[in-house]
Each structure stands twice: as structure tokens, then as C-alpha cells.
Amino acid sequence: MTQGIQYDPFDAEIRENPHPVYRRLRDEVPLYFLEKYQTWAVSRFADVWDLSSDQEHLTNAKGTAPAQLLTQDLEVSPTLNTIDPPEHSSLRATIRSSFLPRKVKALEGVARDVCREQVDQALATGHLDVVRDFGSLLSATVVCHVLGLPVEDGPLLTQWVQAFFTHDPDTGGMTPEGLESINALNDYCVDRLRERRQQPGGGNDPLSVLSEFQIGGRRYSDEEAASHFGNLIVGGTETFPKLLASAMLRFAEYPHFREQLRDDPTLIPDAFDEVLRYDMPTQFLGRSVVRGFEHQGVRLEPGQKLIFLYPSANRDEREFPDPDVFDIRRRAPRIVSFGTGQHQCIGRHIARMEGRIALEALLPALGDYEVDFTRAVRLKTEFVQGYGSLPISFEARR
């Protein structure tokens, strides 16, 4: 406890609504020490922004997620998130071509086809689950195209990823089923890598690149390459459906914004960026201290950890005027929803493309839809906030 503030990401009160405590942390203890975990919680935008690029004192190699850094329920496997330069720089440079804007633009047709088909089906019934019927299918289809996987595997991948992020409702921690699901995903990735290695020179998609990637003259083992590949699957399927649900929820809450977006779809990219700022699902990722240093008058020692409270940073009054106001015309110069620095999310262009095309399809077609909160499923974990299911209803048109 520091100055009357109690912050533990696993506490039920925090998981219910972390923002009041985030505000107090920003105002009173912007670097808050969690003794239990030997971890510093970083809550202000400028600190998150600056420390995210600190390669001299901080490392990703000891894990970034709460199950790795805090509870240590999950072994740290090599992924793009958990390796440092120069290996990180080399691998990222090798696979980034699949995530560049020109490659993403080529996927717009795939995304539009998925959206059109799902909207047509929904209009026949007057009902749609934004997450399960729409967002998850869209993100899984796109990620299969990006990564070089069979599109028909998308639903199974989504099932494993969703199970991994379904936490114990009492503690907020990981469940045995969640750990089993990530093991199943890892096994799947190992099998795909082995298949691709039997057919070398198959292309420049990430699956092919990882099957042949070498660092220091050594090729990744099947398990190492599969770990990196699984991380790309998780990143490509888990977050977007929750962001889309938040967008549809906010536009139901503020129908004048919904009307403006229907009248002028060119506002959609800015509106989706405001959803990214206002309702970021990931509560934090972290680093470990490898060299002691001082920051803002606080001494951080080797072996301690940091967690970056991204939703707190995105509502920091020092960076954003009226940060608790949702405004689709805000056009914030910078946000931390995709991270920053060398570990900035490699799939950010894909997420923005999916958000734009999904909203272009949904908003005009569904009219003045309503959210069915009685059947909605809200996720309240230490790691992820948002909706795992968001049913909406609207006028059916056959």
C-alpha cells in the first residue's frame, strides 16, 4: 500500500473497473511498487512512452504478460514479444513485409467479402453477436491469409485463443483449461512448421519465413519457430473482436456519433482510433530490469519488473484534453494502444484496416441497433478487459 492507494491487478475491484485507481496512481504515485510481485506499475503516458523504448536498462526476455512476470504460471517461450535486439530486430525485419500497408491493402477484398456475407446473414434474423459471429470470424480469416494457413482452420484457432484468455472468475488468474489451450495451439504450430519445412521455398509468408529463419548461423528449432508463429496467431485473433465490440457499444451509447459515421464514412478511421484510445482491452504488458537506473526520482533495481498500464496512459490528462470524454473527432497525435518503440505491434495496420472495413459494413446496414446487455459477456481479468460476447438486435430485412 502506498499513500492510501491499493493496486493489485488481480483484485476484484480493480478488475471490475480499474480507471478510478488508475487516475489516483497517475496523480499520486505514477510509479507504484507492488511488493508481492516486485513490480513497478507505470501509469502516466509520458513514462510509458519513454520507458517502452529503453533497451539499455530493460529486457523483454523474461516475459511480458502477467502469467510470465507476476504469477509465473506460464513459461517464457521465444516470441517476437519476448526477445531483445539484435535477434528481435533481425526477425522483425524478416517478417514485417507481410504486415506493411501495401500488403494489408491487398487483403481488403478478403475482409469485405467476410463482412458482406456476415451482414447479409444477420439482416435475415435481426440479430448479431459482434464478437462471436462477426469480429472473430473476420480476424481469424484475415490472419490465416496473412500467415499462410488454411482459412478453414480459423475457427479452431479462435477457440484456442479465446480459451487461453478465459480466466478464473474468482481470482482473475489463468485456468487449467487456458493452459491446455495454449499447449494445443503450440502443438498445431509445430505441426504446421514441420509440414512447411518439408516443402522449402514455399513463399514469403511468416510461416515460410520462420521455417527458414536463422540467427547467428543457427536455424530455429521446430518448437522455437512455432512459439513465434503462435504469438502471431494470438495477436491477430484476440484483440480485434473486443475492439469492434467496444466500437459498436460506444456508437449505441452515443447515437449522434453513429449517425455522423453513417453520413460520412471518412470519419471512421479517426473514430476507430478513438475506440483504441478509450477502450484498449490489454491492461498491461511489462519488462524486467537488467541494469539499475533512476526514473522520476525512483530507483529501479535489477531483477525488478515494470508493467505499463496502457489504458491508464491513454486517459492521462497530461497528454489528452478531457481524456474521459469519448470523441470521434479527437485525432490524438499519439496513443499507446499498439505500444511504441522497437516492440510496437507489428499488426497495427491490419487491425486498423479490419476496423474500418467492419464499421463501413455494419453501421449503414444495421441502422439503429440496440445492445442486449442481458446476454452480453464482459471479460474482467487482470490482463484483458472488454466483451467476449456482445449481442445486438436491429430490424430484420429478408
* pLDDT tens-digit map of 119-155: 999 999 999 999 999 999 999 999 999 998 999 998 8
Q: CATH: 1.10.630.10, 1.20.1600.10, 3.40.50.620, 1.10.10.10. Which one for 12-70+79-393?
A: 1.10.630.10
| 339-348 confidence digits (pLDDT tens) | 998 889 999 9
pLDDT tens for each residue of 300-335: 999 999 999 999 999 999 999 999 999 999 999 999
Average model confidence (pLDDT) across the chain: 91
The pTM of the whole model exceeds 0.85: yes
Q: Helices 239-253 & 348-366, crossing angle to 10 degrees?
A: 40
- Could you state, in order of their start, the residue ranges of all structural domains in the chain? 12-70+79-393
Average pLDDT of 25-41? 97
pLDDT above 70 (res 107)? yes
pLDDT, position 322: 97
CA distances from 315 to 24, 277, 307, 322, 332 (A): 12, 8, 16, 8, 11
Quick check: 167 pLDDT over 50? yes
Q: Is the pLDDT of residue 168 over 70?
A: no
Q: Which residues of 158-176 are buried (b: 16+ CB within 10 A; e: fewer)?
A: bebbbbbbbbeeeebbbbe
pLDDT in tens, 261-306: 999 999 999 999 999 999 999 999 999 999 999 999 999 999 999 9
Please give the C-alpha separations between residue 261 and each of 19, 169, 336, in angstroms, as whole numbers: 28, 36, 24
**Would you place residue 242 in the very low, low, confident or very high pLDDT band (cuts 50, 70, 90)?**
very high
- Nearest Cα neighbor of 235 from 45, 376, 114, 92 is 92
Judge whether 69 and 37 are in contact, CB under 8 Å.
yes
Distance CA 180, CA 164 (A): 8
Residue type, 144: C
Give the span between the Cα atoms of 276 and 280, in whole angstroms. 5
Per-residue pLDDT tens digits for 170-193:
655 566 776 788 889 889 999 999
User: Which stretch of 15-19, 27-31, 110-114, 165-169 has the lowest confidence by average pLDDT?
Assistant: 165-169
- What percent of the chain is predicted at pLDDT more than 70? 95
Residue 9: what pLDDT? 94
Instruction: Name the helix (H) or strand (E) containing 34.
Output: strand 31-34
How large is the greatest C-alpha to C-alpha distance in the chain, in angstroms? 65
